[in-house]
């Protein structure tokens, strides 16, 4: 997948290929601190998110996992008192560079939230909205093609093929969440950030989303915040455990769940601290 | 890991599983002591008791299997808890095998005692059994106290058991060559020696599993093994036996 520019003005001297060699992951955080006013939410966190894999961020409530997730597409910009320091890079480019076009960045790094939030529009329009405002479709037919392929990739098309003009809000919870995934996919992102995407879904809808994520990882890098450790163990290749704003441990999911190095990780995943 | 789980019934289930392992281990060790005494005292009644007692060991193994499966299904243990539950299944399997070998030892003791067959090398067999009993005790201590050092010692001790087995193999073969009337009893004693040697192997495996349970890593060094009987062959000359020729001709 070719990476589109997230810069407002393309620097002629920039060599993205070399820049991306600077780190092993598609996303990297180096010495990141995040403050909400005087309150420090993230303490000096550094890690690399590998490409085309699923990385799970786990930890008790208030540990900073959602905060760090939101740093990756600058969603924290919308919170006035939030201050982010340190170095966060997407494919080698500093995403907090003043030259970065945040709208373009969020198209490359999409997001799916805890509560499905379809627009009060038709299923078709929900998915067509992004490609239209980003000017990704060259014609009406092309737009339709993007919508259908996005719905297919999100595993929803078969269920809604005959009612694309019906309201997106009329779908079931699990379908709405897949509609939001289709909406994120439609603008051709490289990374999809998911903030507890299954927390309000039943086990069947959850299993469908998990199966979808598994098939999506060939084309996308997925970072998921989850409260369910079983879900992290089932779907991710890498797991990062956060506690009180610290990144306590980051490694292969299998190792984290069979033989974690840190006592804090062991205590949390085995249900000894909340 | 000393910290308790937030859900106390999880701890209760793990503790119950652990107590069952210790109970089973204690029974197995006692059975071996009784079987050895029966052999030393040529006590047919006691050997029969050992055979019947084995049912209790099988019953505890079934309880451990059920409790471990329940823990896996209901609690989804991870990390040290997962290793604990999975290893309890394996350790129970080894203890059950040791129990089976003890039962077989008691059966053979009963047979040779009833037939008043030849017996020899009983002291060496008893010493070998004592060593294995002490290994079982230590392996259970290591399990109970999460003590990797003791578990390492147990792995090392198995070599001495193997060496005793080599000695017994040679001794019993000598009795058999000296007089064919010794063969029947000696064969049973040789099987008893082999049984005890296998018990040592299973105990060393338990020690290995304790190490994995505690550390999350299997020992990388190869356990020293001293059983050479599979490569042994002797002629009467090797054993310095002069066949009795008085009755011949």
- Give the pLDDT confidence score for residue B2 in this predicted structure: 55
Q: What is the nearest CA distance from B216 to chain A, expressed in angstroms?
A: 5
Q: Tell me: the pLDDT tens digits for A49-108?
A: 999 999 999 999 999 999 999 999 999 998 999 999 999 999 999 999 999 999 999 999
- Give the pLDDT confidence score for residue B190 in this predicted structure: 97
- Give the pLDDT confidence score for residue B3 in this predicted structure: 80
Establish if A186 belongs to a structural domain: yes
Q: Is A228 on the interface with B (CB under 8 A)?
A: no
Q: Is A18 on the interface with B (CB under 8 A)?
A: no
B76 to chain A: closest CA residue:
A230
Averaged over B19-48, what is the pLDDT? 97
pLDDT at position A12 over 80 = no
Domain residues for the domain of A58 are 24-269
Averaged over B23-47, what is the pLDDT? 97
Q: Find which of B5, B14, B79, B218 to mutate to test the A interface (most A CBs within 10 Å of its CB).
A: B79
CA distance B246 to B24: 55
Establish if A77 belongs to a structural domain: yes
pLDDT at position A4 over 80 = no
Which H or E element spans position B111? helix B79-115
Establish if A87 belongs to a structural domain: yes
Please state the domain extents for chain B: 9-217
A274 to chain B: closest CA residue:
B6
Averaged over A116-133, what is the pLDDT? 95
CATH of the domain at A152: 3.40.50.300
- Give the pLDDT confidence score for residue A15 in this predicted structure: 41
Neighboring chain A residues of B78 at a CB cutoff of 8 Å: 229, 233, 257-258, 269-270
pLDDT at position B249 over 80 = no
**Given the structure tokens 């210790």, which residue do they identify?**
B22
Which H or E element spans position B160? helix B148-178
Establish if A112 belongs to a structural domain: yes
Number of domains in chain A: 1
Establish if A5 belongs to a structural domain: no
Establish if A10 belongs to a structural domain: no
pLDDT at position A14 over 50 = no
Mean per-residue pLDDT over chain B, rounded? 93
pLDDT at position B16 over 60 = yes
Q: Top-level CATH class of B9-217? A: mainly alpha
Establish if A96 belongs to a structural domain: yes
Q: Is B6 on the interface with A (CB under 8 A)?
A: yes
A265 to chain B: closest CA residue:
B79
Please determine, for the modelled complex, whether the ipTM score is greater than 0.90: no
Tell me if B1 and A233 make a contact (CB, 8 A cut-off). no
- Give the pLDDT confidence score for residue B128 in this predicted structure: 97
pTM beyond 0.95: the answer is: no
Phi, psi of A148 (to 5 degrees): -65, -45
Mean per-residue pLDDT over chain A, rounded? 90
Q: Is B5 on the interface with A (CB under 8 A)?
A: yes
pLDDT at position A11 over 50 = no
Establish if A187 belongs to a structural domain: yes
Tell me if A271 and B5 make a contact (CB, 8 A cut-off). yes
Neighboring chain B residues of A263 at a CB cutoff of 8 Å: 1
Q: Is A257 on the interface with B (CB under 8 A)?
A: yes
pLDDT at position A22 over 70 = no
- Give the pLDDT confidence score for residue A1 in this predicted structure: 43
Confidence bin at B243 (pLDDT 50/70/90): low
Of B3, B4, B79, which has the smallest distance from its Cβ to A257's Cβ?
B79
Q: Is B191 on the interface with A (CB under 8 A)?
A: no
The per-residue DSSP string of chain A comes to -PPPP-BSS--TT--HHHHHHT-SSSEEEEEEEEEETTEEEEEEEEEEEPTTSEEEEE-STTSSHHHHHHHTTTGGGGSTTEEEEEEEEETTEETTSTTB-HHHHHHHEEEE-SS----SSBHHHHHHHHHHHTT--SSHHHHHHHHHHHHHHTT-HHHHGGGTTSBGGGS-HHHHHHHHHHHHHTT--SEEEEESTTTTS-HHHHHHHHHHHHHHTTT-EEEEE-S-HHHHHHH-SEEEEEETTEEEEEEEHHHHHHS-SSHHHHHHHTTS--
Q: What is the nearest CA distance from B51 to chain A, expressed in angstroms?
A: 40
Of B81, B216, B217, which has the smallest distance from its Cβ to A270's Cβ?
B81
Which of A167-176, B73-82, B239-248 shows the lowest mean pLDDT across its residues?
B239-248
């Amino acid at each position: 997948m070719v990476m589109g520019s997230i810069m407002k003005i393309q620097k002629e001297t920039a060599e993205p290929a070399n820049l991306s060699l600077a780190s092993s992951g598609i996303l990297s955080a180096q010495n990141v601190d995040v403050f909400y006013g005087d309150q420090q939410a993230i303490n000096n966190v550094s890690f690399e998110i590998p490409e085309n894999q699923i990385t799970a961020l786990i930890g008790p409530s208030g540990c900073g996992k959602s905060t760090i997730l939101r740093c990756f597409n600058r969603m924290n910009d919308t919170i006035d008192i939030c201050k982010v320091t340190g170095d966060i890079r997407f494919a080698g480019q500093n995403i907090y560079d003043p030259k970065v076009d945040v709208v373009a960045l969020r198209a490359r790094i999409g997001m799916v939230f805890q509560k499905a939030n379809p627009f009060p529009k038709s299923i078709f329009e929900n998915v067509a909205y992004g490609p239209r405002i980003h000017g990704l479709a060259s014609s009406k037919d092309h737009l339709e093609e993007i919508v259908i392929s996005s719905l297919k990739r999100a595993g929803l098309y078969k269920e809604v093929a005959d009612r694309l003009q019906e309201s997106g809000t009329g779908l079931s919870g699990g379908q709405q969440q897949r509609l939001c995934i289709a909406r994120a996919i439609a603008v051709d992102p490289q990374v999809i950030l998911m903030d507890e995407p299954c927390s309000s879904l039943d086990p069947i809808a959850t299993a469908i989303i998990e199966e979808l994520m598994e098939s999506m990882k060939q084309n996308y890098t997925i970072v998921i915040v989850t409260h369910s450790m079983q879900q992290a163990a089932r779907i991710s290749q890498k797991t990062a455990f956060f506690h009180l704003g610290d990144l306590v441990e980051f490694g292969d999911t299998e190792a984290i769940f069979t033989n974690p190095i840190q006592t804090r990780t062991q205590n949390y995943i085995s249900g000894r601290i909340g | 890991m000393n910290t308790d789980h937030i859900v106390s019934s999880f701890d209760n289930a793990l503790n119950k599983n652990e107590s069952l392992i210790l109970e089973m281990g204690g029974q197995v060790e006692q059975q071996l002591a009784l079987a050895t005494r029966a052999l030393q005292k040529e006590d047919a009644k006691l050997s029969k008791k050992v055979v019947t007692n084995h049912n209790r060991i099988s019953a505890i193994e079934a309880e451990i299997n059920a409790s471990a499966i329940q823990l896996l299904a209901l609690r989804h243990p991870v990390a040290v808890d997962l290793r604990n539950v999975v290893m309890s299944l394996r350790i129970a399997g080894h203890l059950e095998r040791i129990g089976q070998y003890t039962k077989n030892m008691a059966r053979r003791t009963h047979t040779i005692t009833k037939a008043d067959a030849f017996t020899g090398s009983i002291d060496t067999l008893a010493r070998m059994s004592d060593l294995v009993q002490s290994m079982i005790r230590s392996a259970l201590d290591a399990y109970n106290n999460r003590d990797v050092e003791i578990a390492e010692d147990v792995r090392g001790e198995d070599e001495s058991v193997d060496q005793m087995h080599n000695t017994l193999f040679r001794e019993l073969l000598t009795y058999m060559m000296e007089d064919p009337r010794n063969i029947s009893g000696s064969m049973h004693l040789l099987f008893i020696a082999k049984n005890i040697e296998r018990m040592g192997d299973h105990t060393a495996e338990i020690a290995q599993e304790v190490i994995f349970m505690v550390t999350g890593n299997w020992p990388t060094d190869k356990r020293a093994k001293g059983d050479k009987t599979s490569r042994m062959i002797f002629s009467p000359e090797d054993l310095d036996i002069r066949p009795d020729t008085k009755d011949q001709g």
